[in-house]
Amino acid sequence: MTARAWALLILRRLLFMIPILFAIASATFFLTRFAGGDPAYQIAGSFATEESIANIRADLGTDRPLGVQYWEFLTDSVRGDLGTSLFTDRPVRTDLADRLPATLELITMSLAVAVVVGLGSGSYAAHRRGTKRDKAVRYGSFTALSLPDFWLGLVLLFVFFFKLDWAPPPIGQIAPGATAPRYVTGAAVVDASITLNWSALKASLHQIWLPLTTMAVIFSGPLTRLARSATIEALGSDAILFGRACGLPRSTLWRYATRASLPPVVTFVGILFSVLLGASVLVETVFSWGGAAQYVVNAIRVNDFPAVQGFVLVSGVFSVVIFLIVDLLYVAIDPRVRL
Amino acid sequence: MSRTELGQRRERVPDWVNPPLAIGLGLIVLLAVGSYVVPALSQFDAEIANPREALQPPSSRHPFGTDRSGLDIFVRVFQAPRIDLTIVVLGVGLGAVIGVVLGVVTGFSRGIPGEISMRVADIIQAFPLLILAIALVSLSGNNLTNVVYVLAFVNVPVFLRLTRSRVLTIREQRFVQASVALGNSTPRLVFRHILPNALGPATVQFGVSMGYGILTLAGLAFLGVGVQVPTPEWGSMILTGSSNMTTGQWWIALFPGLALSVAVFAFNLLSEGIEKAREVGSR
Amino acid sequence: MSELLLDVRGLELEIATRRTSTAILHGVDLALDAGQMHGLVGETGSGKSMTARAIVGLLPPGGRVTAGSVTFGDQDLLAKTEAEMREVRGAAIGMIFQNPRTALYPMLNIEQQMSNVIKSHLDLDKAERVARVREHLGLVGIDDVDRVAKAYPHELSGGMAQRAVIAMALVCGPSLLIADEPTTGLDATIQRQILELIRSLQDQLTLSVLIITHDLGVVAQYCDTVSVMTEGRVVEDGAVRSVLLEPAEEYTKKLIAASDLGDIRKKRLAAQQ
């Protein structure tokens, strides 16, 4: 596709995103208000008087009509103001900015590894369909996707930390006493790489390898199955048959089949990514990762209303952006797709 | 295999029964039955603490060891399906039923309601569902009933989409149009012809969603959401044992997790089995 | 005197699944002289497509040749390894199938795909490859060569796609083209065009053609010789005139009667004499 066609497509999709974002913001607002109790009670405590509760409500702004609150929420959000956390007393935006990079780094690196493993073993199995190796791959991936991620993390901790001492104790991105990279994004591995700080890179990789392996193992399960069935379908296609009839070498046919099998994999990775923003809380808890997911779960426990709202909004926006990227990747991979 | 030498037919296993279906269903039934049989046969109670026997490794007396409160893990692991299976069947089942009904209704009627429902399903799926689940349960009361409702809520979009697109395809097929031409009234059409066909993908999806549902429930319990402490449930048992993993008492979290994996595995297997069985039926 | 290009003798083939194996071909004999168009005709399930695929070694999973020989020129095709057959396919023997739009790889444009084929057999640099692609696209009767070269398969009509497929099968200069039902699924007028094209390419490129079809009309109009197949066997073969005008076998007679050759056949065949 020409550069101009790409630019127009992206522009069209970005414009289309606006009403969707609006819908997400609205849904966030109403969901949190519907599901939540009145935070004023929690903040005031057990011995609150009517008056103090009313004061708190005035502070928070929850005593105003719903419509006004809604409007203010929308205008604030557009400007990037997500309110102040009732727990940390800092702007929610800052809290999230502190913690999101750690979560994103973990998710991205885990998915990257899972995709490589998934595509590789799925394709491997598809080319050897019906053989014992194919069966082994199938059973392996089936098992992997049945495992609970938090449990696997604990088991791996036991084996590699407690028994073998190959992994550090689960205390987050950087161990105390180890060299920390200079703060650029807040994601240790990324920061260490950007600043070319080798000792910090080693330290941060040492901390991340166990949670990363946990998540990569689990997600390679469904990715392998998907890659395998998509490759099998591609291999049986008329185009591959004709390619063979023209004498194309195996490497070319392998490339053809792999590219044809990408679309469902790309879609699935997109879905996984957006799900993982929240679901990574389990692994984050096991390894005390200090990410955004842990933050919001804590916020829920203490009824930190603005923090929950802010997180839900940010992840909704994230998901929409990811789905846009997935759609654009689709167009890049498959010329038949018209958006 | 199914005929004697004289060509007489012996009774044979129906074509649609296949290994994954049998094994998956068998495991699930075992877990369900075991959740009542094992506690009945065991000398230990799943919920009464016994501090003198705390933190014991697996032995002949306690095959899976004991936890910090001295509770026998073997009994608890086997009793857990009472919660795990029940809640998930109810929750996912409810979501599936609602989703399928909505899918048929919006798929069958033309125009705007269909589009809107798809957009709403899109938006629900754009949210971090686990967080949403935690939020909804915590904020509306940390009990199991709410967990059922939340599980149902997050499962509606998937079943809606699946059923709706199937109905849209079926609707255009000749036999439907012929049936309408013959003067069949709409409800009859829906029940006798469309519904059985449309339910197909949903039944396969049900197994998969059950698997995810169990993992979600356990995940919620691991975070302290939904399940109360003495009640045996795999996720909360793993939570209890999590800190012990780094101090060497591996058995407390291991066995519940194994059982959890087996249950999820069984449901996924069941789902595969249903899919294979349907292939046989459509030949 | 034409020389024998393709000689298939006593070909037997079976397909094996985990539980059973089914014999598909029961001793097929086929002979094709250089420069001829030979029709292999039969009903669905007669084994004609399998025969063609066995010749180039493109059997489905579980397919095995159990007896017989396939000689192409002076080469024993059945004795070759898969790597050696890869060199034969496309360079010595080209093959096209039904349904051209699914035969082309959807994710690359025509020029890129054809270039890949050239790369696997000939040692040409980029400019030479581009020139060769365009030359062959012109040969198959495509007027707007530039547009088609840069087009993706889904952007082409059925007829245009089949021309591109033919160009791709012939781009490395094979001496035999095997066409498996090349016109089934195309509109009637396009069918004629494609068949005329193949016929004219025969002259231009000194090409021999093995065409597989269930349509006796195609055989009558375009082929020099014909083999009639049913249930994995060749029941009759010979020059088209003699087989269709004076069929010796019962099956051939039934086939002719069931087709709509009728008077047209008689007139055409008479005109050819």
Q: In this predicted model, what pLDDT tens digit does every residue of C39-77 receive, in sequence order?
A: 999 888 888 999 999 999 998 888 889 999 999 988 999
CB atoms near residue B8 (< 10 Å) = 7
Which chain A residues are Cβ-neighbours of C99 within 8 angstroms? Answer: 238
Burial of A160 (0-12, 13-18, 19+ CB in 10 A): middle
**Residue C271: what pLDDT?**
65
Q: In this predicted model, what pLDDT tens digit does every residue of A170-226 receive, in sequence order?
A: 877 777 767 777 777 777 787 777 778 788 788 888 888 899 999 999 999 999 988
Is some CB atom of chain C closer than 8 A to the CB atom of A237? yes
Q: Which residue of C has its CA nearest to A242?
A: C103
Contact A154 B253 (CB under 8 A): yes
Q: What is the mean pLDDT of chain C?
A: 88
Best mutation target, A135, A246, A254, A330, to test chain C (most C CBs within 10 A):
A246
**Residue A201: what pLDDT?**
82
**What's the gap in Å between the CA of C103 and the closest CA on chain A?**
4
Chains in contact with A, counting 3 or more C-beta pairs less than 8 Å apart as contact = B, C
Is some CB atom of chain C closer than 8 A to the CB atom of A334? yes
For residues C101-107, average pLDDT: 91
Confidence at A165, pLDDT banded by 50, 70, 90 = confident
List, as ranges, residues 209-228 from B with C-beta within 8 Å of A. Answer: 211, 215, 218-219, 222-224
**Residue C152: what pLDDT?**
92
Is some CB atom of chain C closer than 8 A to the CB atom of A330? no
Contact B95, B156 (CB under 8 A): yes
Q: Among C58, C104, C116, select the one facing A245 at the smallest CB separation.
A: C58
Contact C106 A239 (CB under 8 A): yes
**Residue A95: what pLDDT?**
85
Question: Which range, A79-83, A136-140, B145-149, B244-248, is most confident?
Answer: A136-140
Contact A60, A40 (CB under 8 A): yes
ipTM of the complex: 0.91
Is some CB atom of chain B closer than 8 A to the CB atom of A321? no
Is some CB atom of chain C closer than 8 A to the CB atom of A196? no
Count CB pairs under 8 A between chains A and C: 78
Q: How far is CA B137 from CA A42, A305, B149, B225, in A?
A: 17, 14, 9, 7
Count CB pairs under 8 A between chains A and B: 136
Contact C88 A256 (CB under 8 A): no
Which chain C residues are Cβ-neighbours of A239 within 8 angstroms? Answer: 102-106
Contact A285 B222 (CB under 8 A): yes
List the C4-16 sheet strands across, edge first. Answer: C21-33, C4-16, C63-72, C75-76
- Continuous segment of H or E residues that includes residue C66: strand C63-72
Best mutation target, C116, C152, C176, to test chain A (most A CBs within 10 A):
C116
**Residue A112: what pLDDT?**
93
The more confidently predicted of residues C237 and B129 is C237
CB atoms near residue A123 (< 10 Å) = 22
The rounded distance, in Å, linking the Cα atoms of A41 and A18 is 36
- Main-chain dihedrals φ then ψ at residue C9, nearest 5 degrees: -130, 130
Best mutation target, C56, C82, C105, to test chain A (most A CBs within 10 A):
C105
Q: How far is CA A68 from CA A35, A76, A314, A336, in A?
A: 19, 12, 22, 47
Q: Which of A312-321, B13-22, C207-216 has the lowest mean pLDDT?
A: B13-22
Q: Which residue of A has its CA nearest to C98?
A: A238
**pLDDT above 90: residue A111:** yes
Confidence at C118, pLDDT banded by 50, 70, 90 = very high
Q: In this predicted model, what pLDDT tens digit does every residue of C251-264 receive, in sequence order?
A: 888 888 888 766 55
Q: Which residue of C has its CA nearest to A252?
A: C116
**Residue B9: what pLDDT?**
45
Is some CB atom of chain C closer than 8 A to the CB atom of A338? no
**Residue C270: what pLDDT?**
64
| Axis-axis angle for helices C110-121, C158-170 (nearest 10) | 20
Confidence at A97, pLDDT banded by 50, 70, 90 = confident
Q: Which residue of A has its CA nearest to C88?
A: A247
The rounded distance, in Å, linking the Cα atoms of B15 and A334 is 39
Confidence at C127, pLDDT banded by 50, 70, 90 = very high
**Residue B262: what pLDDT?**
94
Q: Among A244, A247, A336, select the one facing C106 at the smallest CB separation.
A: A336
Contact A249 C117 (CB under 8 A): no
* The dihedral formed by the CA atoms of A158, A162, A163 and A168, expressed in degrees to the nearest 10: 100
**What's the gap in Å between the CA of A249 and the closest CA on chain C?**
7
Q: Among A241, A246, A256, select the one facing C169 at the smallest CB separation.
A: A246
List, as ranges, residues 248-287 from A with C-beta within 8 Å of C. Answer: 248-249, 252, 256, 259-260
Is some CB atom of chain B closer than 8 A to the CB atom of A310? no
Q: Which residue of C has its CA nearest to A251?
A: C120
DSSP calls for A136-201: HHHHHHHHHTTS-HHHHHHHHIIIIIIIS--S--S--SS-TTSPPPP-SSS-HHHHHHHTT-HHHH
The more confidently predicted of residues C240 and A306 is C240
Contact A297 B132 (CB under 8 A): no
Q: Which residue of A has its CA nearest to B128?
A: A278
Is some CB atom of chain C closer than 8 A to the CB atom of A2? no
Contact C105 A249 (CB under 8 A): no
DSSP calls for A81-106: ---B-TTT-SBHHHHHHHHHHHHHHH
Q: Among A155, A300, A319, select the one facing B134 at the smallest CB separation.
A: A300
Is some CB atom of chain B closer than 8 A to the CB atom of A190? no
**pLDDT above 90: residue C169:** yes
Is some CB atom of chain B closer than 8 A to the CB atom of A23? yes
The rounded distance, in Å, linking the Cα atoms of C225 and C246 is 14
**Residue C266: what pLDDT?**
61
User: What are C135's two structure tokens?
Assistant: 């030359």
Is some CB atom of chain B closer than 8 A to the CB atom of A147? yes
CB atoms near residue C2 (< 10 Å) = 11
The rounded distance, in Å, linking the Cα atoms of A186 and A38 is 33
Which chain A residues are Cβ-neighbours of B136 within 8 angstroms? Answer: 35
Burial of A339 (0-12, 13-18, 19+ CB in 10 A): exposed
Best mutation target, B116, B130, B154, to test chain A (most A CBs within 10 A):
B130
**What's the gap in Å between the CA of B260 and the closest CA on chain A?**
8
pTM of the model as a whole: 0.80
User: What are C244's two structure tokens?
Assistant: 């269709």
Parts of chain B with a pLDDT under 70: 1-15, 110-111, 114, 139-140, 172-177, 179-180, 183-194, 280-283
CB atoms near residue B43 (< 10 Å) = 7
Contact A245 C117 (CB under 8 A): no
Q: Which residue of B has its CA nearest to A160?
A: B246
